[in-house]
Structure 1
Amino acid sequence: MLDSCTNSQERWGGVHQLIDRWLAERKQMVMNYTQLRKRQAPSSAPDTELAAFCDTLVDYLSAGHFEIYEQLMREAEDFKDQRGIELAHQVYPRIETITREAVTFNDTYGQPDCGVDEETMQARLHHLGGLLHERFELEDCLIEVLHTAHKDMLSTV
C-alpha cells in the first residue's frame, strides 16, 4: 500500500499544492496504518498509535471530500470534460461507501481510552486497509483522468 502512495506522489506531485498535501497525508496515514498493524498489543498507556492513525484517517477523508473532490469536479466542469464528470459520478458513490466505513472505524476507535479489544480492532483495521487500498485506486484514477485531460490545456493558459 505504501508503494502505491509513493508512486502516486511521484506521478502527480507538483500538479497542485492541495493534491501534493493530500498525497502526503495519504502516505502518513498508510505509515500509521502499517505501524498499527505490526504491533503485538497496545501498552497500558494511552493508545497513541491508534489515535495517530485515526487522526490522519479523518484528516485525509475530510480533505478528499471537502477540498480535492470539489476541485476536481470544478476543473472537469470548467474544461467541459464530460468523461471526467461521468467518471466522478461513477466513482464517488463507492468512495462515499468506503468513507462511511472509515468514519465508523474512527467513531469506534478514535476516542482516548475506548477500551480496545486488540483482536477485533486488528480484524476491522485489516478490513479497512483493503477498503482504503480500493479508495486510493479510485482516487488515483480520478486524478489521472482529470490531470491527463487538462494537462495540455493548462500548459497553454
Structure 2
Amino acid sequence: MHNSSGQERRARTQEMVDKWLAERQQMLVLYCKLAGIESFDPDKPEKQLLRDFCQLLVDYVAFGHFEVYDRITSGEERRGEVIKVAEKAYPRISEVTDIVVAFNDKYDLSDHIQSMDELTEDLSMLGEELANRIELEDKLVGALLR
C-alpha cells in the first residue's frame, strides 16, 4: 500500500510540473512575440497580445506560487532535497514575482491607457528577471522529479 501512495504522489508531482512548464512555455512564446514588435501602438492589435501576455504571465507566476511553493512549504513535500532547493530559490523567485506584478499593474490595458514609451525597456528587464527565475525553477523541477 505504501508504494502505491508514493507512486500516486510522484504522478501528482509530475502532473503539477508538466502544467507549470506548459504555462511557462505559453508565456515565453507570447513574450517573444511581444519583444519582436518594433514599435508599439496601443490602438493596434498588439494591445490584445500585451493583454494576453500579462494574463499568462500572472497565471504562470500564480501557479508557481500557489500550487508549487505552497505544496512544498505546507509540509506536503517530505523530501529534504526539494525543501532545501526551494528554500534557497524562493527569496529570489519571490523578488521576480514582485517585478511581474509591477509589470502587470503597469501594462494591463483592460482598465487604463498606459504610455508604451517604456515597454521595450520594461520587457527587456522583465526578460532578464524571468531568465533568472526560470534557472531557479529548473533546479526546483530537477529536485521535484528526482
Name the TM-score, length of structure 2 as normaliser: 0.80
Per-residue deviation at 1:21?
Answer: 1.5
Instruction: Name the SS for the 2:77 alignment partner.
Output: helix
Aligned to 2:18: 20
1:49 paired to 2:62 = no
Q: Look up the SS of the partner of 1:16 in the other structure.
A: helix
Aligned partner of 1:57: which letter? L
For the 8 Å contact 2:14–2:145, the answer to whether it is kept is no
TM alignment of 1:1-80, pairs within 5 A: 16-43=14-41, 44-45=43-44, 47-73=47-73, 74-77=75-78
Q: What is the alpha-carbon distance in structure 1 between the residues aligned to residue 72 and residue 56 of structure 2?
A: 22
RCO higher in structure (CA 8 A, sep ≥6): 2
Q: 1:90 maps to what in 2?
A: 88
For residues 121 and 29 of structure 1, the distance between their equivalents in structure 2, rounded to whole angstroms, comes to 17
3-state SS of paired residue (1:83): helix
Q: Distance in 2 between matches of 1:114 and 1:125?
A: 19
Post-superposition Cα deviations, 1:11-33, rounded to whole Å, max 9, x if no partner, equal xxx96222212111111100100
Question: Aligned in 2, Cα 1:23/1:30: closer, same or farther, shift over 3 Å?
Answer: same
Q: How many residues were matched structurally?
A: 132
Checking the alignment, whether the CA contact within 8 Å between 2:23 and 2:56 is kept in structure 1 is yes
Instruction: Using the aligned pairs only, state the percent identity.
Output: 36
Let me know the Cα RMSD of the aligned residues.
Answer: 2.0
Distance 1:50 1:138, change over 3 A: same
Q: Offset at 1:90?
A: 1.2
CA contact (8 A) 1:76 1:85 kept: yes
Give runs of aligned pairs for residues 91-106 of structure 1, distance below 5 A: 91-106=89-104
Tell me how far apart the structure 2 counterparts of residues 76 and 18 of structure 1 sit (CA, whole Å): 13
Distance between the aligned counterparts of 1:99 and 1:53, measured in 2?
Answer: 15
Contact 2:23 2:60 in 1 (8 A): yes
Unaligned runs of 5+ in 1: 1-13, 149-157
What's the counterpart of residue 9 of structure 2?
Answer: none
Residue 10 of structure 1 is matched in structure 2 by none
